Structure 1
Amino acid sequence: MMILVDQLKYAAAGGIGACISHSGAVPLDVVKTRVQLNPKKYSGTFFENGATLVREEGPGVLLQGLGSTALGYFLHGALKYGGFESLKFTMYKGGYEDLTAFASDHRLFSLIVAAAVAEFVATLALCPLEQTRIKMTKDKDYADGTVGALKRLFREDGVAGVADSLPAIYCKTIPFTMFQLPVYDVVSKSLRESARGLVGVVDVPPIAIQLSASLAAALIASLASQPGDTIITEENGGATAEVASAAGHPGERRERRRRRRRRGLIEVAAELGPSGLFVGWRERLAHVASLVVIQLPAYDNIKQVILHIDFGSKM
């Protein structure tokens, strides 16, 4: 029972940390998405592009998709961090000697696999909310709120249509988490060990270790997942998508979207090319760095607080 309670605490800490970080970074994500949707128009610096958006559409444009982001990443963070910690526990403390020996000898590889499995499950919850976020960022009149956006998404695309986007979303989320969590785990552990060797010489605050490891994780995870991020933006509202869905009845537009998705991710990537796949990478790196340096330390610290709370008398 205590093991289950601890795993639920990890999930709660992950959900809270992810919700806080992603919600706070929504303005950066809006600018990044607009750059990917229309790179010719938004060809300036990050701040110039943001100023153009505010000037043309008002300050509220920077909060488009906030509801979908907050809900989606709370669920996603809970499953991602909770799943990752559960798999780590199974590998290192689950009582499986062969598995523990292998994981100990191949720590980075084992953590990458655990992160990929956890992300595979977490993305299922994120998928529809990520699609509505992009659609609401692209079109301010798409829906009045998260519930309305979800209703419209399922009405126009159907369950099968929403599920069709999973491969594209996985191209973004799985590479991101495969590097984000293991890099943070390994780098922070290494920095803590180095800091212990400096005791009596210099006092290294825990937050300095957390921020340094977070920045390393943000850089590597952002670059690894950039092509997938561009593909999912193209799938849900890029230049090709705008032309395809500009006219026709909802049923016709739905069929056009499905035909686009059936092109295959490799074909989309080939059409975009290396330069196209990395459109908006600077904006995305700024966005990713801002959320990761908040999310990972927040998760670390919230986790420590929650783990010390005893719910035994209330259960």
Structure 2
Amino acid sequence: MPSLFPTASALSAAFNSVSPYQLVQSPPKKRSPYTARQELYGAWSVVEDAENKAQQLSNAAAKEVEKASKTAQAQVGKIELYSAKYYATCTFGGLMACGITHWAVTPLDLVKCRRQVDSKLYRGNVDGWRKIIASDGWRGIYTGGSPTFFGYSIQGALKYGGYEFFKKFYSDLVGEENAYKYKTYVYLAGSASAEFFADIGLCPLEAVKVRMQTSMPPFATGTLDGIRKVTAAEGLGGLYKGLVPLWGRQIPYTMMKFASFETIVEIMYHRLPGKKSDYSTLAQTGVAFSGGYLAGILCAIVSHPADVMVSKLNTNRLKGEGFGAAVGRIYKDIGFGGLWNGLPVRIVMIGTLTGLQWLIYDSFKLFMGLPTTGGAPPPQEAK
């Protein structure tokens, strides 16, 4: 008796490819070398998803920073260029830029100072850190970090704030046209004047820092303990006996730091398409970091012999010995080559440190609604 329902073969013949019971397989295609590998799609999706999330977080962070910036500007009020409020803002920006960055590179500075005093003490940075950690623990690599932070916070505040003040002072003194024509001399004079006063604030803490870093075990447990011990043994003069060599190190360093930074940034904006104002705040801070790093390399080379002498004078100067006599005796001991001990380490340290300082300083200026440093056009755009 024939079935009342069609057979499976009849259904297949009637509906063929649309039947849910029929799987139609197309012939395999030869994969070209440009065809994406499907087995990697899953990984690609994960990477793309992570990138999207990172971008979302970055955008959210940028919005929060912008919100905080507007709030800070609203609380402070409009900051007129070259007003007392402007110089106060630059002073605070310099404090943030220098204190944090100098403290962060304390491990490099520690090995550098000890090698300047005794070049045979460590074979290099890693060897120095290994030996310091073995004898003093991990905290040992931050020996001198406290006076470093406080000393360079004071110095950074006076240096950056003072530079903005003296740059404007000398520009007004010579007139707008001459200030642009001889701008490099204005940068040099302004930075030298600022550093002169900044070093007076730095010197006592630098003396404590150097003694802590070059004596083993460290002669003091911290900043206040170090100041107390120096003044008890040598009076207040003991905190300032390194002031002249500090000026000898820091004033050329700062003159190179500011003048070369301003020049490098100006060249960079000149080479880039468009004007400085065409670039985003992120791009401008990128230029600040790049210009600061290059300027830092030049700073390290120019100031290194004086840096070695500061380390030597703070540890090897005899009681009652005159400055000239001490310098002559130390130079006779170490020779010309000894003045360059630790230079490669200092180039890396100062390059990174200076780049980060300009990045922090100019980022803070932008945060407060001020323009970044350097790259200014000629007066009235026509001269």
Q: TM over 0.5, yes or no?
A: yes
Sort the Cα spacing of 1:81 and 1:122 in 2 relative to 1 into closer, same or farther, 3 A: same
* Equivalence for 1:220: 298
Superposition pairs for residues 2-41 of structure 1, below 5 Å? 3-41=83-121
* Equivalence for 2:211: 135
User: Could you tell me how far apart the structure 1 residues matched to 2:141 and 2:299 are?
Assistant: 24
- Does the 8 Å CA contact 1:168/1:265 hold for their aligned counterparts? no
Paired residue secondary structure (1:143): coil
**2:106 aligned partner, one-letter code:** V
Sort the Cα spacing of 1:155 and 1:307 in 2 relative to 1 into closer, same or farther, 3 A: farther
Superposition pairs for residues 283-298 of structure 1, below 5 Å? 283-298=345-360
1:10 deviation in Å? 0.5
Residue from 319, 327, 331 that aligns with 1:257: 319
* Equivalence for 1:77: 156
Q: CA-to-partner distance for each residue in 1:112-167, whole Å, 9 max, x for gaps?
A: 11111110010000001001001111234412211111111222222233333211
1:4 deviation in Å? 0.6
Q: CA-to-partner distance for each residue in 1:258-315, whole Å, 9 max, x for gaps?
A: 316351545544543221100111121122122112111111111221356xxxxxxx
* Equivalence for 2:131: 52
Length, aligned pairs only = 286
Residue 105 (1) aligns with residue 167 (2):
no
User: Could you tell me how far apart the structure 2 residues matched to 1:37 and 1:260 are?
Assistant: 20
**1:179 aligned partner, one-letter code:** M
More helix by share: 1
- Does the 8 Å CA contact 1:235/1:260 hold for their aligned counterparts? no
**1:121 aligned partner, one-letter code:** F
User: Could you tell me how far apart the structure 2 residues matched to 1:62 and 1:103 are?
Assistant: 45
Deviates more, 1:107-116 or 1:152-161: 152-161
**1:229 aligned partner, one-letter code:** D
* Equivalence for 2:18: none
Paired residue secondary structure (2:102): helix
User: Could you tell me how far apart the structure 2 residues matched to 1:281 and 1:192 are?
Assistant: 30
* Misfit runs of 4+, over 4 Å: none
- Does the 8 Å CA contact 1:91/1:100 hold for their aligned counterparts? no
1:189 deviation in Å? 2.1
**1:89 aligned partner, one-letter code:** K
- Does the 8 Å CA contact 1:25/1:290 hold for their aligned counterparts? no
Sort the Cα spacing of 1:207 and 1:10 in 2 relative to 1 into closer, same or farther, 3 A: closer
**Which ranges in structure 2 are unaligned for 5 or more consecutive residues?**
1-78, 371-383
User: Could you tell me how far apart the structure 2 residues matched to 1:6 and 1:165 are?
Assistant: 32
**Which ranges in structure 1 are unaligned for 5 or more consecutive residues?**
245-255, 309-315
- Does the 8 Å CA contact 1:161/1:258 hold for their aligned counterparts? no
Question: TM-score scaled by structure 2?
Answer: 0.69
Superposition pairs for residues 233-272 of structure 1, below 5 Å? 233-237=311-315, 241=316, 256-259=318-321, 261-265=323-327, 268-269=330-331, 271-272=333-334
**1:274 aligned partner, one-letter code:** F
**2:240 aligned partner, one-letter code:** A
1:52 deviation in Å? 2.6
- Does the 8 Å CA contact 2:293/2:351 hold for their aligned counterparts? yes
- Does the 8 Å CA contact 1:9/1:307 hold for their aligned counterparts? no
**2:297 aligned partner, one-letter code:** L
Residue from 273, 295, 299 that aligns with 1:196: 273
For the pair shown, the structure with the greater C-alpha radius of gyration is 2
1:236 deviation in Å? 1.1
Superposition pairs for residues 147-186 of structure 1, below 5 Å? 147-186=224-263
* Equivalence for 1:68: 147
1:90 deviation in Å? 2.1
Paired residue secondary structure (1:128): helix
Paired residue secondary structure (2:120): coil
Deviates more, 1:98-107 or 1:263-272: 263-272
Q: CA-to-partner distance for each residue in 1:197-241, whole Å, 9 max, x for gaps?
A: 499xx999334322221121111000000001000000012xxx2
